[in-house]
Amino acid sequence: MRRWIGVRTLYQPRFRLLVITSLLALLAAYYAAWSLSNWISLDAQALRFDFQSYFGGAQAAAQGGDIYGEFKRTWGTQAWSVAYIYPPLFALVLAPLTSLGLVAAGRIWLLVVHAAFLASLWLLLRINPELPPAGRRLFIAGALAFMPVYIDVKFQQVASVWLLLLAASLWAALRRRSAAAGLFLALAASLKVIPVFLVPLLVRLGRWRAALSATALLGGLTAVTMAAAPGSWQFFTVVLPRIGLGNSNWDNASIDGLVSRFVALFPTAFGVFTVQVGEAVVATAALAVLGLTFWRSGLGGDQAWQLRLGTAATVTALLMVSSVTWQHHLVTLLLPLAVGMAWIAERRPDPRYSWTLALSYALCWIDRRVLPLPADQAVHSSGQAVLVLAGTSIKLVGLVLLWTLLLAMLREEARRVRLPRETSQGPARIAA
């Protein structure tokens, strides 16, 4: 195929770089135009979903009220999904904006979301210097074309801020700035609880100072924010236990979401024990995925690659085992995608690594609405139920592919260390 006219040109470095640069320019122009239009047209109607819940929690925090009052009032109905469900720190940070009104505060927050996304791209390139010019431009183009990015921005979500904090923590840890790494990780866990599972990874990799710093700072932030927001202890006693149950929503891309959909569609599959079997599967999968990730991350290899690949694999694993993984949460996949691209550029492994990485990106990009699934989300037969389970699991397949790929990279790093050692010991054994 390389000799075909037209195809042959694609293998010329200069032409390939020109194509990637042109694609990047087009995507950057689209992102800028779309973002400007989205910011200008922003109104109360556009903010009625996620930011309205943030704003409500911030108003309660500013007035010394119960920031989880709306969640408790609407739990058990469809309305709970627009209630404030985050740790108290986020509400306290947004509280000063409430005096500006919903729309003005929403505009400011939207600018923060954009800034966090763009800063994350810059930081991820700093973290992965192995990427060549073409690879760096391809990564930015892929980020600007990633569907979860646009969903995150459109609904003023926190995923881009979460990504920035995770990238900053990794950047600091790579430079042995343990206190800074711990601070950024503590802030990330104070925004979304699940990053706390990166602390065991740091322990596994021997980064004790960063792990202890993150633990201490997270404890301090939690204590301060709970004191500043009366009743915020309910996040741990009421909110977290309830949202931790997951749900069967078709957009929930986690293992919990898949199992919940199976239980909802086949409630008698295991008789009266169907729910219990589902809960056991979810718990076992979470333990197995996280346990294997931590174990594989500590097998050895170049310390910088261990940290980068281990963090990337853990971020991917957390999306897999979270109780709820919406499409906008997949913005954080830009971290493992950047690390994976850099590793491939540096180690030059079998081409299957590159193809698997590209396939996982594509699967995580796809929205279920492009598939021939029932528009009213009503299932009328067992065959249709199987189709729904398959169609709503495409993102999970992409996550699993990316996770297994990163574990394979970690295995290769460990093997690169063992081979020279075995080679050097071989002659000594023969001589003996």
**pTM for this model (two decimals):** 0.91
Task: Give every CB contact of residue 324 below 8 A, 6+ residues apart in sequence.
Answer: 243, 246, 247, 249, 252, 254, 256, 257
Report the C-alpha gap between 211 and 202 in whole angstroms: 6
Judged by DSSP in three states, 190 sits in helix
Token readout for 24 is: 């990047």
pLDDT of residue 430: 31
Per-residue tokens: 127: 């973290």
Q: What gap in Å lies between CA 143 and CA 159, rounded to an integer?
A: 14
To the nearest 10 degrees (0 to 180), the angle between helices 334-347 and 394-431 is 40
DSSP notation for 123-151: HHHHH-TTS-HHHHHHHHHHHHH-HHHHH
What whole-number distance in Å separates Cα of residue 310 and Cα of residue 299?
10
Position 419, amino acid: L
Backbone Cα Rg of the chain: 23
Encoded tokens for 407:
């574990």
Structure confidence at residue 75 (pLDDT): 75
| HSE, side-chain direction, 13 A CA sphere, residue 189 | 24
340 touches 406 (CB < 8 A): yes
**Best CA proximity match to 362, nearest among 399, 388, 389:** 399
Which residue from 121, 128, 110 is spatially nearest to 51, judged by alpha carbons?
Answer: 110
Secondary structure letter of residue 333 according to DSSP: G
pLDDT value at residue 155: 87
Helix (H, G, I), strand (E, B) or coil at 175: coil
DSSP H helices in 47-132: 50-62, 69-74, 88-94, 102-127
DSSP output for 367-425: -GGGS---TT----SHHHHHHHHHHTTHHHHHHHHHHHHHHHHHHHHHHHHHHHHHHHH
Spell out the residues 6+ positions from residue 380 whose beta carbon is closer than 8 angstroms to its own: 374
**Contact at 8 Å (CB) between 168 and 198?**
no
pLDDT single digits (tens) 218-268:
999 999 999 888 888 888 888 888 887 778 888 899 999 999 999 989 998
Q: What pLDDT sits at residue 101?
A: 92
Q: Could you say which DSSP state residue 155 is in?
A: T
3-state helix, strand, coil in the chain (%, to 5): 75, 0, 25
Q: In whole angstroms, what is the distance from residue 381 CA to residue 384 CA?
A: 5
Which amino acid belongs to residue 10?
L
DSSP calls for 239-303: IHHHHTT----TT--SHHHHHHHHHHH-TTTTGGGHHHHHHHHHHHHHHHHHHHHHHHHTS-S-H
Dist CA 20 CA 1 (whole Å)? 21
301: left (phi over 0), alpha (psi -120 to 50) or beta: left
Domain spans of the chain, in order of start? 251-417
pLDDT in tens, the chain (432 residues): 555 555 556 667 777 788 889 999 999 999 999 999 988 888 888 888 788 888 988 999 988 888 888 888 877 655 456 678 889 999 999 999 999 999 999 999 999 999 999 999 999 999 999 999 999 999 999 999 999 999 999 888 899 999 999 999 999 999 999 999 999 999 999 988 889 999 999 999 999 999 999 999 999 999 999 988 888 888 888 888 888 777 888 889 999 999 999 998 999 889 889 999 999 999 999 999 999 999 999 988 889 999 999 999 999 999 999 988 889 999 999 999 999 999 999 999 999 999 999 999 999 998 887 777 887 778 888 888 888 888 889 999 999 999 999 999 999 998 887 665 555 454 433 332
- Which residues lie below 8 Å from residue 29, measured CB to CB, with a gap of 6+? none
